[in-house]
């Protein structure tokens, strides 16, 4: 690559149209991989926003629960039984459920995720929730997610202008008294927070003693893993205990393995890799075929296959880098566009950028290794 005569670059740059086609194909492949990986990252990040915002050290759920969107209730007696362990400082129940929100302007309905908790035992570390706890003491008062999708109506805009917003939730009139920030996910387009009492009024079939999530706070100085083992040995098997990190991984695992969405994004990344490999192979194969007489002459005077393999790999590396740069730039623009349109956390990070660059180089090297077979099998005497 650093020889006096950069043969690899001279061959590529000689056919400018072919080089442009190759760069376009590799850039397209990188864009596909970037977008699929971006959607996959947004899938996981958006669906663990609630988990990351909870205040506590251990989480108690039903063993039949699959994810936040598919929680199963269990008796809160199990949660309060954990108070018998001296390391436990406090416990807080959390209710979760989907309800129909009526757009106050367009009068259409859309499902929204509702959270209920005891106001004297706050469970969220969310801006806007703990500051408005007193406002939730009145029945049917709610806090609305300011980053919810616009299909729910201009709720946030009106509340920010100190306007009273009255709507219907589960056919019950509710009043939005404040805003908080959480954001939509692949499971829910918006979120609502309310008190335990108001939640039970919205979900008339739910019993107070049947909760979805139990949050356990430990006294300072105690390790979560050790207390978890102690509680697991004491409590029946009709509940499942998780650390804070395990609860986040529990949600990710559902979307990764039990939901088809995770598989689709992984498949899309693979397809982008395969398409890019095929495009680069066609370009490099054409380069080898076109310069076969020149390669044969060099081979006849003693140049080894290793030398030619080095040239092809240099061309593969050049194509990978030249195609990666526009692919990255376009992907950044598409990330911004997707984030604005869907409100999902589509963000580029260094790890993803390096990973796609590695895939791009690896993709081009595979193509080069396949393309060089034509030259390896060629006999100079047959070519001339």
Overall domain count for the chain: 2
- Answer with the one of 181, 208, 238 that is the final residue of a domain: 238
CA distance 71 to 335: 31
89 is a domain residue? yes
181 is a domain residue? yes
pLDDT, residue 4, reads 47
In this structure, the answer to whether residues 141 and 274 fall within a common structural domain is no
In this structure, the answer to whether residues 26 and 129 fall within a common structural domain is no
In this structure, the answer to whether residues 111 and 209 fall within a common structural domain is yes
The range of the structural domain enclosing residue 32 comes to 7-46+260-383
Cα→Cα distances 338→271, 305, 330, 347, Å: 21, 47, 12, 10
Averaged pLDDT for residues 327-334: 95
Averaged pLDDT for residues 294-319: 76
248 is a domain residue? no
Residue 202 has pLDDT above 60, yes or no: yes
Are 142 and 136 a contacting pair, CB within 8 Å?
Answer: yes
Three-state DSSP at 145 gives strand
252 is a domain residue? no
| pLDDT tens profile 57-96 | 999 999 999 999 999 999 999 999 999 999 999 999 999 9
Written as one string, the DSSP assignment of 225-252 is HHHHHHHHHHS-TTSEEEEHHHHHHHHH
In this structure, the answer to whether residues 114 and 211 fall within a common structural domain is yes
CA distance 118 to 342: 32
In this structure, the answer to whether residues 198 and 73 fall within a common structural domain is yes
Whole-prediction pTM value? 0.83
Averaged pLDDT for residues 276-291: 80
In this structure, the answer to whether residues 218 and 115 fall within a common structural domain is yes
Residue 265 has pLDDT above 70, yes or no: yes
pLDDT, residue 315, reads 83
In this structure, the answer to whether residues 67 and 42 fall within a common structural domain is no
In this structure, the answer to whether residues 102 and 234 fall within a common structural domain is yes
Residue 133 has pLDDT above 50, yes or no: yes
Number of other CB atoms surrounding residue 302 within 10 Å? 7
CA distance 114 to 86: 33
Are 116 and 136 a contacting pair, CB within 8 Å?
Answer: no
pLDDT, residue 2, reads 47
83 is a domain residue? yes
In this structure, the answer to whether residues 221 and 267 fall within a common structural domain is no
55 is a domain residue? no
307 is a domain residue? yes
Ramachandran angles phi, psi of 262, nearest 5°: -60, -40
pLDDT band at 146; cut points 50, 70, 90: very high
213 is a domain residue? yes
CA distance 15 to 198: 71
Averaged pLDDT for residues 257-272: 86
Q: How far, in whole angstroms, is CA 272 from its chain's centroid?
A: 18
In this structure, the answer to whether residues 221 and 89 fall within a common structural domain is yes
In this structure, the answer to whether residues 158 and 27 fall within a common structural domain is no
Question: Which residues partner with 193 through β-bridges?
Answer: 115, 143
Residue 292 has pLDDT above 90, yes or no: no
In this structure, the answer to whether residues 234 and 319 fall within a common structural domain is no
Written as one string, the DSSP assignment of 51-76 is HHTB--SEEEE-TT--SGGG---EEH
Closest by CA position to 90, among listed 52, 136, 122, 47: 122
């Amino acid at each position: 690559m650093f020889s006096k005569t950069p043969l690899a670059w001279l061959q590529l740059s000689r056919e400018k149209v072919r080089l442009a086609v190759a760069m376009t194909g590799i850039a397209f492949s990188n864009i596909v991989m970037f977008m699929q990986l971006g959607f996959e990252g947004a899938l996981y990040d958006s669906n663990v926003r609630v988990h990351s915002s909870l205040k506590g050290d251990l989480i108690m759920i039903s063993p039949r629960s699959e994810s936040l969107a598919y929680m199963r209730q269990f008796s809160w007696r199990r949660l309060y039984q954990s108070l018998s362990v001296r390391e436990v400082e406090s416990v807080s129940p959390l209710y979760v459920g989907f309800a129909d929100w009526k757009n106050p302007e367009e009068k259409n309905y859309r499902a929204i995720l509702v959270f209920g908790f005891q106001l004297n035992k706050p469970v969220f570390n969310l801006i806007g929730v703990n500051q408005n706890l007193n406002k939730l003491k009145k029945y049917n008062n709610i806090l609305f997610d300011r980053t919810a999708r616009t299909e729910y109506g201009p709720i946030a805009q009106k509340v920010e202008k100190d306007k009273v917003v009255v709507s219907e939730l589960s056919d019950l009139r509710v009043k939005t008294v404040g805003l908080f920030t959480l954001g939509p996910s692949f499971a829910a387009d918006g979120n609502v927070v309310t008190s335990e009492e108001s939640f039970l009024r919205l979900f008339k079939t739910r019993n107070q003693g049947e909760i979805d999530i139990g949050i356990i706070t430990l006294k300072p100085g105690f390790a979560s893993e050790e207390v978890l083992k102690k509680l697991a040995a004491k409590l029946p098997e009709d509940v499942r205990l998780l650390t804070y990190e395990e609860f986040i991984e529990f949600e990710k695992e559902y979307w990764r393995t039990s939901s088809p969405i995770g598989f689709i994004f992984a498949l899309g990344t693979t397809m982008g890799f395969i398409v890019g490999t095929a495009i680069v192979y066609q370009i490099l194969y054409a380069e080898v075929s076109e310069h076969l007489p020149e390669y044969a002459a060099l081979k006849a005077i003693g140049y080894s296959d290793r030398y030619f393999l080095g040239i092809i790999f240099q061309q593969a590396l050049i194509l990978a880098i030249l195609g990666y740069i526009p692919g990255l730039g376009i992907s950044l623009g598409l990330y911004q566009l997707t984030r604005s349109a869907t409100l999902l956390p589509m963000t580029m990070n260094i790890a993803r950028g390096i990973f796609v660059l590695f895939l791009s180089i690896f993709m081009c090297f595979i193509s080069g290794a396949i393309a060089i077979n034509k030259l390896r099998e060629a006999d100079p005497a047959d070519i001339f």
